[in-house]
Amino acid sequence: MSSDMQRISGLGHNRGEVVGPKSCEEFQRALKITPGGSMRAAQFFAPHLPYAVAVTGSWITDADGSKVFDCANNSFSLVHGHTFPPVIEALHKVLDNGTVLDNGTAFGLPTTSETKLAEAITTRSPKLEQVRFTSSGTEAVMFAIKAARAITGAR
């Protein structure tokens, strides 16, 4: 085992220790208002998950201060890890220039920003003639099924 893996395997919940008292308190609190005590129904570790309070890179700090190595990265949607500096800098660049916060964030109408982003994507991927943004995975799958039916003629 590499020295990095030995170091990681000896930290926090990776040792198999029981979740700390603050995470237990958070779990009990969450049980009162959330089915199963978690919004993440697909994840479970007995007696329950640790409750995260901070994260940097691939390291999560739980409510008890234990460090947990995050191999899932939010179910793999965070390919750069948490709080990746170039991503944070890009977000600040957009947020700090006033184009988002000063002008609004959710219009319910088409926006010039989404057209600009769609143009950037199709320019970088010439095979993509058009782009459709969605608000959820469910909506994306619904559009994919409709597109597949339209392309194949299936019903």
pTM (2 d.p.): 0.56
- Domain map of the chain by residue range? 3-71, 106-155
pLDDT tens, position by position, 122-131? 999 989 888 8
> For a pLDDT cut of 70, what percent of the chain falls above it?
75
- Domain at 3-71: CATH code: 3.90.1150.10
- Would you say residue 7 has pLDDT above 80? no
- Weakest-pLDDT range from 95-104, 131-140, 141-150: 95-104
Contacts 24+ apart (CB under 8 A), 67-74: 67/11, 67/12, 68/11, 68/12, 68/13, 68/14, 69/8, 69/11, 69/12, 69/14, 72/43
Q: What tokens were used for 125?
A: 């991927």
- pLDDT of residue 39 exceeding 80, the answer is no
